[in-house]
């Protein structure tokens, strides 16, 4: 096992973040001696980040925990193009108003994970539109484009895979790697940034930035990538059967976020605690060694810690309390999603669709037919069943994991 001298690389290594490193010895030596500003870029293609982005957010958190300076680079400009890495088709192009709206909504989630301020190790957030938006095309091609060969660009996975699959790759997207490399150059010049981190699919883009800065400024920069984070069943981290697990509470409630982590596969509990929480490594060893029903203690610890980090301690405690009331005590916790109904009764199909458990009445019918729909924990046997609401709140469930309330108003 690799032995690092710096707190930074030891922390990243011990918790399972390191996949690839450029010049590990030089980076380790520098991190042991001085504060390193390091960055990760986030395009603002949606109004919230999701769990698939979380390992990168946690990398910035680890950077700060080890005494270094995180830089959150928001892709106000590169969002207008779209990163082709891992994509089979071009992203929808957002207008300036949509990008600004997404930027504002995403900004808040980082404040739970990082400490922002003006100190040497305080996090900062910058927008690459500040420099990319000012570029003139011909000077940029002349000064920056000449350092990139088409031969080499075609060899990168983000391009090669699209071409092999015979999926269109626009000239707009083809320029993305050049602009990302230029980001690293500008961050190095403006903020003394020495390190870019990212997922394994960003390796080529990171190396491009390092080489561009070396050629133009003679700067010594570094890169670290994380492995692809998958679940034990092989599926991609950050997705559930219902879609993305959003970090913003207005997109996904803290209760549902807690439930996502509580439902972690037994085989993933230890790995996810190391990556996505600050739980002590020795405590993680104890928790992940639990067997049988006792592993639920570890899953609850994971859910508590992950939810507290993303939404605050109070929200995590409320979510855990609601889950205990719902699953262990048979009560209906106050944080469950609720559907307010003005009539005295509602059909089971309308209720399942209205509360968001099913996308259509057809899907709701199939759920009922399969025995997955329940009212007050009693299976619904008929798709035409009407639910009386005159007696007060009714608990509605879809499968084992979705629970909510039907409320007469």
Last residue within a domain, chosen from 280, 308, 328: 328
Provide the number of structural domains found in the chain. Answer: 3
Residue from 331, 334, 382, 373 nearest 352 by CA: 373
Give a yes or no: residue 193 inside a domain. yes
What phi, psi does 33 have (nearest 5°)? -110, -30
For residue 381, is it within any domain?
Answer: yes
Q: What is the pLDDT of residue 88?
A: 45
| Range 306-340 burial, b when 16+ CB lie within 10 A, else e | bbbbbbeeebbebbbebbebbeeeeebbebbebbe
Is the domain of 375 the same as that of 292? no
Residues in the chain: 409
Q: Is 172 domain-assigned?
A: yes
Domain with 270 in it = 253-328
* 248 part of a folded domain: no
Distance of alpha carbon 369 from alpha carbon 380, whole angstroms = 9
The owner of tokens 């940029």 is 140
- Determine phi and psi for 202, rounding to 5 degrees: -95, 5
For residue 392, the domain's CATH number is 3.10.290.10
Encoding tokens for residue 75?
Answer: 């892709």
> CA end-to-end span of the chain, whole Å?
62
Q: Is residue 247 part of a domain?
A: no
Rounded Cα gap, residues 146 and 183, in angstroms: 16
Q: Do residues 31 and 86 lie in contact, with contact meaning Cβ atoms separated by under 8 Å?
A: no
CATH of the domain at 317: 1.10.240.10
* Nearest-angstrom CA–CA distance, 275 and 228: 12
- pLDDT of 142 reads 79
Query: In 3-state terms, what secondary structure has residue 371?
Result: coil
Same domain assignment for residues 324 and 343: no
Give all strands (DSSP E) within 68-226, no chain letters: 69-75, 124-127, 195-199, 222-226
Q: Are strands 345-347 and 386-388 parallel, antiparallel or unpaired?
A: antiparallel
Instruction: Give yes or no: residues 311 and 374 share one domain.
Output: no
Residues 210 and 311 in one domain: no
Same-domain pairing of 261 and 294:
yes
In a domain, 39, yes or no: yes
- Point out the domain boundary residue: 226, 243, 268: 226
Sheet architecture: strand order including 69-75: 20-21, 222-226, 195-199, 37-43, 69-75, 124-127
Q: pLDDT (tens digit, 0 to 9) for every residue of the chain, 409 residues total?
A: 578 999 999 999 999 999 999 999 999 999 999 999 999 999 888 889 999 999 999 999 999 999 999 999 999 888 876 555 544 444 566 788 888 899 888 988 899 999 999 999 999 999 999 998 888 877 787 788 888 877 787 777 767 777 777 777 767 677 788 899 999 999 999 999 999 999 998 998 899 999 999 999 999 999 999 999 988 888 877 655 456 789 999 888 898 899 889 989 999 999 999 999 999 999 999 999 999 889 999 999 999 999 999 999 999 999 898 888 766 555 555 567 888 888 888 999 999 999 988 989 999 999 999 888 988 778 898 899 999 887 667 889 888 778 888 888 7
Residues 118 and 198 in one domain: yes
In this predicted structure, what is the pLDDT of residue 150? 79
Question: Is the domain of 281 the same as that of 366?
Answer: no
Indicate whether 48 belongs to any domain: yes
Same domain, 54 and 170: yes
* Same domain, yes or no: 152 and 23: yes
289 by Cβ neighbours in 10 Å (0-12 / 13-18 / 19+) ranks as exposed
Report which secondary-structure segment, H or E, holds 81. none
Domain end (from 328, 355, 377): 328
- Is 58 among the domain residues? yes
198 half-sphere exposure, CB direction, 13 A CA radius: 25
What confidence score (pLDDT) does residue 401 get? 73
pLDDT on residue 239: 57
Same structural domain, 40 and 118: yes
DSSP 3-state assignment of 305? helix
Dist CA 370 CA 364 (whole Å): 10
pLDDT at res. 266: 92
Domain match, 205 and 352 both? no
Is residue 318 located within the same domain as residue 401? no
């Amino acid at each position: 096992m690799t032995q690092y001298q710096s707190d930074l690389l030891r922390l990243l290594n011990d918790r399972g973040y390191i996949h690839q490193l450029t010049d590990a010895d030089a980076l380790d030596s520098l991190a042991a001696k001085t504060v390193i500003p390091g960055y990760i870029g986030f395009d603002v293609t949606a109004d919230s980040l999701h769990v698939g982005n979380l390992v990168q957010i946690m990398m910035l958190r680890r950077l700060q925990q080890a005494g270094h300076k995180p830089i959150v680079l928001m892709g106000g400009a590169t969002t207008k193009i779209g990163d082709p890495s891992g994509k089979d088709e071009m992203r929808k192009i957002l207008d300036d108003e949509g990008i600004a709206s997404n930027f504002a909504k995403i900004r808040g989630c980082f404040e739970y994970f990082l400490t922002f301020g003006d100190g040497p190790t305080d996090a900062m957030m910058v927008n690459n539109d500040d420099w990319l938006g000012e570029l003139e095309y011909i000077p940029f091609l002349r000064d920056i484009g000449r350092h990139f060969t088409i031969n080499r660009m075609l060899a990168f996975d983000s391009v090669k895979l699209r071409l092999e699959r015979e999926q269109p790759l626009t000239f707009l997207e083809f320029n993305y790697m050049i602009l990302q490399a230029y980001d690293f150059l500008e961050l190095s010049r403006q903020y003394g940034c020495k390190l870019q981190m990212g997922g394994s699919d960003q390796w080529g883009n990171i190396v491009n930035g390092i080489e561009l800065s070396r050629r133009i400024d003679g700067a010594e920069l570094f890169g670290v990538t994380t492995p692809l984070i998958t679940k034990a069943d092989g599926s991609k981290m950050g997705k559930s059967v219902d879609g993305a697990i959003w970090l913003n509470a207005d997109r996904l409630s803290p209760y549902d976020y807690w439930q996502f982590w509580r439902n972690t596969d037994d085989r993933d509990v230890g790995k996810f605690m190391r990556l996505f929480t600050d739980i002590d490594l020795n405590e993680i060893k104890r928790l992940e060694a639990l067997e049988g029903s006792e592993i639920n203690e570890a899953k609850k610890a994971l859910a508590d810690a992950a939810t507290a980090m993303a939404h605050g301690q109070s929200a995590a405690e409320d979510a855990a309390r609601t889950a205990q009331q719902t699953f262990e005590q048979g009560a209906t916790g106050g944080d469950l999603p609720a559907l307010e109904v003005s009539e005295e009764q509602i059909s089971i199909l309308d209720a399942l669709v209205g509360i968001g458990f099913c996308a259509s009445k057809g899907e709701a019918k199939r759920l009922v037919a399969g025995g997955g729909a329940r009212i007050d924990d009693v299976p619904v046997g008929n798709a035409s069943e009407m639910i009386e609401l005159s007696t007060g709140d009714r608990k509605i469930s879809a499968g084992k994991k979705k629970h909510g309330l039907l409320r007469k108003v």
